[in-house]
Amino acid sequence: MGDILKNLKLINQADLRQKGKIKYPLNELISIAFFTMTASANDFVEIAAFADVHHKQLKQIFPQHQNTPTHDTITRAFAMIDPIYLQTFQTKFNELLNTNQDKKSKKYYTSTAKPKKATATKLKHPTT
């Protein structure tokens, strides 16, 4: 896992955001998203919810990690990254999880529960 996270730090060099205003480095946002996808997340709201629930664990991986990014922040970050880069990284990430190279990370991230989506309460219609 360490090699992948090291390689992912290279994306920070291509970050187009204003350096003084960066609260969440791109490598953290991408990593959080891919960890969340192993727990079957389907959208940016679920990614943000996962990051909020697993804040302590993420802090162990990313010591500078302070707060949980919002789904809007994650969405904007992904919008500025080349899809080919994301696809390449996801392929490497998936290969790592599908091998036994990193059993500890695989066990932790695949055992986490899928974050719950906020859903509207369904109204029951009276039967006639």
Report yes or no on 107 lying in a domain.
yes
Full domain range(s) for residue 83: 2-111
Report yes or no on 119 lying in a domain.
no
Model confidence over 3-58: pLDDT tens digits?
Answer: 667 767 777 777 888 888 888 888 888 888 988 888 888 899 999 999 999 888 88
Report yes or no on 118 lying in a domain.
no
Question: Hey, is 99 helix, strand or coil?
Answer: coil
Quote the mean pLDDT of the chain.
76
Report yes or no on 61 lying in a domain.
yes
Report yes or no on 126 lying in a domain.
no
Report yes or no on 117 lying in a domain.
no
Report yes or no on 53 lying in a domain.
yes
Residues 80-96 as b or e (16 or more Cβ within 10 Å = b): ebeeeeeeebeeebeeb
User: How many structural domains are present in the chain?
Assistant: 1
0.75 cut: is pTM over it?
no
